[in-house]
Amino acid sequence: MKILVCLKQVPHQDARLDIDGAGTWIKEDGIKFEINSYDTFALEEALRIKDAGEAEVVVVSIGPDRVTQALRTALGMGADRAVHVKDTEIDGSDALVISKLLAAVGKEESPDLVLMGLMSDDGNTAAVAPMLAELMGIPSATAVMSVEASGDGYKVERELEGGALEVVELPKPCLIAVQSGLNQVRYASLKGIMAAKKKPIDVKGAGDLGLAGNVGAGAAKTHIEKIFAPVKGEGAEIVEGSTDEVVTQLVAKIKELGLL
Amino acid sequence: MGNILIVTELKDGAIREASYELVSFAQKIGGDIKSLVIGSGVAGEAESFAKKGGGTVYVADDASLANYNVDGYAAAIRAGIDASGADVVLISNTPSGWDVAPRIAAALDVAFVSDAFDFQDGAYIRRIFNGKLDARVKVEGDKAIVSVQPGALAAFDGSSEGSTEALTVDTSGARAKFIEVKVAESKGVDLTKASVIVSGGRGVGDPEKFTEVIQPLADALGGAMGASRPVVDAGWLPHQYQVGSSGQVVTPKLYIACGISGAIQHLVGMKGSNFIIAINKDPDAPIFEVAQLGVVADLFEIVPALTAAVAAAKG
Ligand SMILES: Cc1cc2nc3c(=O)[nH]c(=O)nc-3n(C[C@H](O)[C@H](O)[C@H](O)COP(=O)(O)OP(=O)(O)OC[C@H]3O[C@@H](n4cnc5c(N)ncnc54)[C@H](O)[C@@H]3O)c2cc1C
């Protein structure tokens, strides 16, 4: 049994988001990065399957040198080995190009199960999981809130609106993109972090995956032309002053609403 | 702009409001509009959609399509694209929409734009970083699969000429198997009945602070406590406290959001409140766009002081 977990390293959720000189992405210099929150739940789910039986957990991530840190964290949490897809040519790739790179890794690894997050906290496209499944020719389910082994595959619960759940069965091999909150994510233990130092990280370029010349902005079918602060409407009336002054105004409002 | 195919979605046997919003979106892009209705026993709905902006409506009507299934629906959408000769395919960004749409783009090797909320000057506009920034996305060439944020545009409510055409779909290759839908059970806290809700987000920081800071204000106001999703995901509070698209949709007289940024999935759950106060230390937090009163400050300064002042005002 082999599980491939796809991880993305993204700007920390509390990082300052300043727009870069070209106006097409944020300034990445000097900000903290972390494993995409949705992906941490996917990794945890893989490690639970591993803990419950026999499984090899392989993590893969695409990105520059800084991604090594995310992979080390994943190895520290209990993943067995890592694949780091690193190539400056990849810059400017869209979700479809990223999916093609991951599909090439998927072909080399031929996992029984691919686990990943529903979407990334930066791009928010939620596109890579279904695309990767399509390119690997396997069934998939997204926004998954529970995973249970069933027959020759998995029975999963997909989250619908308002908290309803859709129960779906997928035969192996398959891809499951998890929703946040399906488990409580572990921390890497000190022992785990020490052990991770000896675990292998295999670095591959686009050429190693048979995609030389077919990645990056030139291969992308979508381009971000510009990013900008959301257009503001009228917005809230901002209450200013000392804490006492602010609170006095809030209480006056609550009274006016007839709630006090 | 060529042909646009609207992929409609049914809920409880009727075409959803979001599908009529796709008509408005298609009109904004401009082009010849055609539509697709997928389901079982859906001829009547297809007829009526054809007269309400859907144009030529292809009907994939099959017992195997009665419930959503990624493989069956992907087959139906691809058949619809072939039949319509569509360049642009619009689909609502709902749990089934986001599950299937990217697969179609990958299968056809065409552009995919996710969760667009507008189309301006030849580009799609969408939120990134959970609502903190927006992006203008351009597509290479004419072909694209686009998922559209529900609620972004007003639903088309005019009438039009239109007709239906049956579409045969081969769903025999489906691997994913639909078993059932479990409806959300409401247990414990029913936030929809509270007249005041004090909600805390990730900014509250830890579970103890909910007991020490958020709950006392809710109690002082005779209201209930609510939360954003990360709070529930982290196990700080049970799911019944969650407000938003995957939690409860609430409309209290007063909603006080503390340390909540205002992602769209949270906003859809509370923006219908009669009055909204937001307390957040980030002046650019999107929550201030839906609030009537805002306080840009540390919630740990404001909330305890407000709790004391409310208690004092009650005498
Ligand atoms: C399919 C789907 C369904 C979802 N359903 C829901 C849902 O039902 N409900 C929901 O809420 N979310 C939902 N989400 C998640 C949503 O996208 C956001 O991730 C979430 O709402 C963010 O929660 P938050 O505002 O608490 O956290 P953040 O976005 O991290 O915001 C925390 C805020 O706290 C502020 N802050 C920090 N410290 C302080 C302080 N001391 N004082 C004042 N302010 C402070 C920060 O400035 C920041 O604005 C869903 C997502 C998906 C993809």
Whether the Cβ atoms of residue B158 and residue A141 lie closer than 8 Å to each other: no
| Mutate-to-test residue for ligand 1 from B99, B204, B228, highest number of ligand atoms within 8 A of CB | B228
- Ligand 1 closest atom vs CA B247: 8
B3-166 shares its CATH topology with B191-314 = yes
Q: How confident is the model at residue A232 (pLDDT cuts 50, 70, 90)?
A: confident
- Ligand 1 closest atom vs CA B98: 1
A-chain CB neighbours of B111 within 8 Å are 94, 96, 221-222
Enter the pTM of the model. Answer: 0.96
Helices (H), chain B: 17-29, 43-49, 70-84, 97-108, 207-209, 215-220, 229-233, 264-270, 287-290, 299-314
User: What is this model's ipTM?
Assistant: 0.96
Domains contained in chain A, CATH given: 2-219 (3.40.50.620)
- B149 Cβ closer than 6 Å to some ligand 1 atom: no
Please choose, from the candidates B307, B296, B195, B190, the residue with its C-alpha nearest in 3D space to the C-alpha of residue B243: B190
Cis peptide bond upstream of B238, omega within 30: no
Question: pLDDT per residue over B229-242, tens digit each?
Answer: 999 999 999 999 99
Residue A215, pLDDT > 80, answer yes
Q: Please identify which residue in the block is written with the tokens 């540390």.
A: B298
Q: Please identify which residue in the block is written with the tokens 């209990």.
A: A78
Question: pLDDT per residue over B10-58, tens digit each?
Answer: 999 999 999 999 999 999 999 999 999 999 999 999 999 999 999 999 9
Give the span between the Cα atoms of A201 and A82, in whole angstroms. Answer: 5
Report residue B16: phi and psi, to 5°.
Answer: -70, 155
The domain limits of chain B are 3-166, 191-314
- A125 Cβ closer than 6 Å to some ligand 1 atom: no
Give the span between the Cα atoms of A74 and A95, in whole angstroms. Answer: 22
Residue B237, token pair as written in the block: 């509070």
Whether CATH 2.70.150.10 fits B191-314:
no
Q: Do residue A122 and residue B128 have CB atoms under 8 angstroms apart?
A: yes
- B303 Cβ closer than 6 Å to some ligand 1 atom: no
Report residue A194: phi and psi, to 5°.
Answer: -65, -45
Q: Do residue A141 and residue B70 have CB atoms under 8 angstroms apart?
A: yes
- B269 Cβ closer than 6 Å to some ligand 1 atom: yes
Question: pLDDT per residue over A139-158, tens digit each?
Answer: 999 999 999 999 999 999 99
Q: What residues have CB less than 8 Å from B155, skipping those under 6 apart?
A: B17, B18, B20, B21, B23, B24
Question: pLDDT per residue over B55-104, tens digit each?
Answer: 999 999 999 999 999 999 999 999 999 999 999 999 999 999 999 999 99
pLDDT for B1: 58
Q: How confident is the model at residue B186 (pLDDT cuts 50, 70, 90)?
A: low
| CB neighbours of residue B195 within 10 Å | 16
> Could you tell me the CATH superfamily of domain B3-166?
HUPs (3.40.50.620)
Distance from CA of A200 to the nearest CA of B (A): 31
Give the span between the Cα atoms of A103 and B236, in whole angstroms. Answer: 37
Give the span between the Cα atoms of B112 and B126, in whole angstroms. Answer: 12
CA B111 to chain centre: 22
Whether the Cβ atoms of residue A254 and residue B143 lie closer than 8 Å to each other: no
Of A24, A223, A245, which to mutate for an interface test with B (greatest number of B Cβ within 10 Å)? A223
